Amino acid sequence: MKTRKISTLGVASCVGGPSSSCARAPQVLKQSSYSSILKKHSIELDWQPVLEVSGKARNSLNILNKQSCVISQFSQEQFEKKQKFLVLGGDHSIAAGTWAGVMNQLPAGATFALIWIDAHMDAHTIETSPSGNLHGMPVTLLLGEAEHDLQACFPSENFLSGQSIYLFGIRSYEAEELVMLSKEKVNVFDTQRIKNEGGTRKVLQALIQTISSCYDYYAISLDLDAIDPEDAPGVETRAETGLSAENLLAVFKESRFEDNFIGLEIAEFDPGHDIDQKTEKLVFEVIASIF
CA–CA distance, 99 with 154 (Å, rounded to integer): 9
Count CB neighbours of 134 within 10 A: 28
Produce one character per residue of 162-199: b if its CB has 16 or more CB atoms within 10 Å, e if not: bebbbbbbbbbbeebbbebbeebebbbbbbeebeeeee
Radius of gyration of the chain (CA): 17
Return the active site residues.
92, 118, 120, 122, 135, 223, 225, 268
Is the four-CA dihedral 191, 196, 201, 202 of positive or negative sign? negative
CA–CA distance, 59 with 79 (Å, rounded to integer): 29
Give yes or no for a cis peptide into 90 (omega within 30° of 0).
yes
Q: How many CA atoms does the CB half-sphere of 21 hold within 13 Å? A: 10
